[in-house]
Structure 1
Amino acid sequence: MRKSLICISDTPRLYSPSFIAMALANFAAAASFGVFFLFPLVIKAYGGSEADIGLIMGVFALAATLCRPWVAELIDRLGRKHSYTIGSSLMTLLPFVYLALGNDLSDIYLLLLLLRVVHGIGLALCFTACFTYVADIVPPARLNEGIGMFGISGLVGLAVGPSLAELALDRWGEPALFFTASGLAAVGLVCHLPLAETLTRGIVASRVSFFAVLRRPKMVLVSILAVLFGFGLAAAGNFVAPLAAERRIVFVSLYFLCYSAAAVLVRLVGGRLADRFGERRIVPYALSITGCGLLALALVHGQLALAAAGLAAGCGHGLLYPALNSWAIRGEPVAVRGKVTGIYTGALDAGNFSGSVMLGLIGEWFGLPVLFLVAGGALLMGLLVLWRSGDNVCVK
């Protein structure tokens, strides 16, 4: 058998060639996903409403949530790299199917929902597999730093994707958006192929079920917080573009650029904070900052205010995502890390789905400002959840 070009070192170091290669793949996959932050504008052009946007965007996250037990089991059995290959292949091919559907929403509604379901499964495979892969290769003492720094690749991708999508839409129209998404995903597919598999063949997959891991007190708490986080992310991912269009803010991708830039800067400056002080101490600050950033969107009426809201929410995201992820996976054996990562990312997607649907209805009934007030309030509810949990749940 031909050996992989990039192997895992016996002595793990943080910025290994494998880490960098998977980060490039994650950047490309996230950018492909980020292209679809502007898909609500296409839905509007097809004749859709805010409720349609919420359902069509949200079913993507619903599929990613419901498939998580299967995805997590696959990653712990088939392997991290091989699971990522399946996911990135789907992400590369599916944008072409969007092109074949047509542009009358009433005629393609059910087919579009089905396509979004399959697309969501592809993304679930990519994100769960790559973060499990990284948890396998980073030094345990620098777990939060490693996950946080690796996550920068995704944050940059989430900023680049909408920017490229906006450029493609403006210059070449709707088909270019889907070509852009496919091309970016193809880069991720190519980048990860030389990697070695981190799941050693001699390791027997754990017989502990996905749902048995989910019932652990630590995982229950992390999952609740992740659901609230995902609820807020639904507002940023699905409704910032309609808000900017409603208020005639031209450069909508500025929000995503500022959001990602702030999250990256926070991780570069404070990447070791949670490793040093513990995730439990960092999470309340992260929830508060992210929530306030979303609340601020209700007051946005210009380019500068949009950028400021993006900076605030991005700062919170930069702290919150790796802290919750590290809290979930710290101290867990290799054989169940796919399940643990699947639970965390699945909870995020569950929150994203519920947020997409509920916020879409709220936006249609009460307007976009109320939508962002509810989204920000969901993050702040996490403080109450942490307070009620008290000291009953330890980091381990």
Structure 2
Amino acid sequence: MPLGLDRKGLINFSLITLANFFFFSNFSTFFLLPLYIKELGGTEADIGFIMGSFGITSLGSIPFVTYLIDRYGRKLFMFAGAVIMLLSSLLFVTVNELSPLLYVFRMCQGMGFALFFTSATTSAADIVPINRRAQGLGIFGAFTILAYSIGPTLGEYVLNNFGFSHFFIAASSFSIVAAVLILFSAVTDFTKSAERFGLGFFRLVASKRYSLILLTNLLLAGGLGSVLNFISAFLKEKELDVYNFFIVYALTVTFVRMFGGRASDVFGRKKVAAPSLIIFSISIACIVFIDSGLAAIMVSFLFSFSYGMLYPVLTALVIDKAGADERGKAMGAYNAC
């Protein structure tokens, strides 16, 4: 059977993966929220503060969220996250001026994100057997990348043709689908944590068992963010097309996550992670030598291929090291980096 799952397990994994896709489609449409803030008369500073307020709750709530899902299970909090994202996205329709409500709704989205994504990734890891774990998490992650292209594209179409009110309604509709899919999913088996809410999350983050993986993921995220944020300006300065870099990035990462995750299940995590990290570092160093469209495509391919390989490997490593009753905390710490 695919992913080593029986029919029931495969259906459950598919429902959670598709729910994650629709949830992230909702999330990614809000990359266009700065346009609305500008229309309301907001400055660049307003955009930065409002968009950034999402991180206060998405990161700040993770210790509490991870305690909940390790203690009480995944499904309830996936559903709660989808509903919170749905309502907070829809409520933007009520805002017609620069208002503290923009911060409130954006911070609610951050809470919904923390609840849903941490629960969903942990649930996916629960379902897939250890010998197919990286492959399963790679497929799960591929649908996330796909959502990043679908959400803003459809959002921009609705915005250009129907306006912001319809845009917010359309965005929230993605989370309706996510919530319905979660309702139809089965409750995944998990080992209940006996720990009371306290410092368990922070002890896990500080433990030597996870320090190398979390540090690696933090550096990986820093490299990814730096490249994606600044490559457009760099290529424009070189008078090169930007879209080629991003098309190659999206296609390569999606393909590699879908079909490359199995490699570390077969050959071992470290044997895949080490060369991928080297290629990732080399690709970033090579950016300064881009002087043609072909060079941009080649660098983008190396960058995307190595990043696409690293995500499922590192995610699987975190789960491999986690105790059965601390998977939520482990995934929360990993996603926070």
Judge conservation of contact 2:81–2:113 (CA < 8 Å) in 1.
Answer: yes
Match of 1:42 in 2: 36
In 1: Cα distance, 2:30 partner to 2:289 partner: 25
User: Match for 1:16 among 7, 10, 16?
Assistant: 10
| Distance change >3 Å, CA 325–CA 174, structure 1 → 2 | same
2:60 partner letter: L
Judge conservation of contact 1:259–1:312 (CA < 8 Å) in 2.
Answer: no
2:129 partner letter: P
In 2: Cα distance, 1:218 partner to 1:135 partner: 19
User: Match for 1:147 among 125, 137, 162?
Assistant: 137
Deviation at 1:216, TM superposition (A): 1.6
Unaligned runs of 5+ in 1: 1-10, 348-396
Whether 2:17 is the aligned partner of 1:26: answer no
Judge conservation of contact 2:29–2:171 (CA < 8 Å) in 1.
Answer: yes
User: Match for 1:56 among 27, 50, 53?
Assistant: 50
Judge conservation of contact 1:262–1:312 (CA < 8 Å) in 2.
Answer: no
Match of 2:250 in 1: 260
Deviation at 1:299, TM superposition (A): 9.7
Secondary structure of the equivalent of 1:335? coil
| Distance change >3 Å, CA 186–CA 233, structure 1 → 2 | farther
In 2: Cα distance, 1:241 partner to 1:293 partner: 16
Whether 2:325 is the aligned partner of 1:325: answer no
Deviation at 1:57, TM superposition (A): 2.6
Judge conservation of contact 2:141–2:312 (CA < 8 Å) in 1.
Answer: yes
RMSD: 3.6
Match of 1:192 in 2: 182
In 2: Cα distance, 1:271 partner to 1:151 partner: 10
User: Match for 1:120 among 99, 110, 113?
Assistant: 110
Match of 1:210 in 2: 201
Name the TM-score, length of structure 2 as normaliser: 0.82
Judge conservation of contact 2:21–2:147 (CA < 8 Å) in 1.
Answer: yes
Judge conservation of contact 2:138–2:260 (CA < 8 Å) in 1.
Answer: no
Match of 1:179 in 2: 169
Match of 2:213 in 1: 222
In 1: Cα distance, 2:245 partner to 2:266 partner: 31
Judge conservation of contact 1:41–1:242 (CA < 8 Å) in 2.
Answer: no
Judge conservation of contact 2:74–2:119 (CA < 8 Å) in 1.
Answer: yes
User: Match for 1:338 among 312, 328, 337?
Assistant: 328
Name the TM-score, length of structure 1 as normaliser: 0.71
Judge conservation of contact 2:232–2:242 (CA < 8 Å) in 1.
Answer: no
Secondary structure of the equivalent of 2:326? helix
Is 110-119 or 23-32 further displaced after alignment?
A: 110-119
In 2: Cα distance, 1:244 partner to 1:191 partner: 41
Judge conservation of contact 1:72–1:128 (CA < 8 Å) in 2.
Answer: yes
In 1: Cα distance, 2:290 partner to 2:102 partner: 32
Unaligned runs of 5+ in 2: none
Deviation at 1:264, TM superposition (A): 1.6
1:70-127 deviation per Cα after TM superposition (whole angstroms, max 9, x unaligned): 0101111221111101000011111122222224xxx32x432232221111011111
2:193 partner letter: A
Judge conservation of contact 1:54–1:238 (CA < 8 Å) in 2.
Answer: no
Is 149-158 or 182-191 further displaced after alignment?
A: 149-158
In 2: Cα distance, 1:237 partner to 1:44 partner: 23
Match of 2:59 in 1: 65
Secondary structure of the equivalent of 1:69? helix
User: Match for 2:305 among 315, 318, 330?
Assistant: 315
Is 111-120 or 292-301 further displaced after alignment?
A: 292-301
Deviation at 1:282, TM superposition (A): 3.3
Judge conservation of contact 1:37–1:237 (CA < 8 Å) in 2.
Answer: no
1:269-295 deviation per Cα after TM superposition (whole angstroms, max 9, x unaligned): 422222233333433544455567778
In 1: Cα distance, 2:223 partner to 2:37 partner: 21
Deviation at 1:240, TM superposition (A): 8.0
Judge conservation of contact 1:40–1:241 (CA < 8 Å) in 2.
Answer: no
Judge conservation of contact 2:249–2:300 (CA < 8 Å) in 1.
Answer: yes
Judge conservation of contact 2:25–2:151 (CA < 8 Å) in 1.
Answer: yes
Secondary structure of the equivalent of 2:184? coil
In 2: Cα distance, 1:142 partner to 1:27 partner: 21
In 2: Cα distance, 1:221 partner to 1:242 partner: 32
Whether 2:127 is the aligned partner of 1:133: answer no
Identity fraction in percent = 32
In 1: Cα distance, 2:93 partner to 2:209 partner: 43
| Distance change >3 Å, CA 66–CA 256, structure 1 → 2 | farther
1:337-368 deviation per Cα after TM superposition (whole angstroms, max 9, x unaligned): 11111111122xxxxxxxxxxxxxxxxxxxxx
| Distance change >3 Å, CA 41–CA 304, structure 1 → 2 | farther
In 2: Cα distance, 1:45 partner to 1:305 partner: 38
Is 205-214 or 295-304 further displaced after alignment?
A: 295-304
Match of 2:93 in 1: 99
1:244-282 deviation per Cα after TM superposition (whole angstroms, max 9, x unaligned): 999999997x87654332112112342222223333343
Judge conservation of contact 1:13–1:139 (CA < 8 Å) in 2.
Answer: no
1:150 partner letter: F
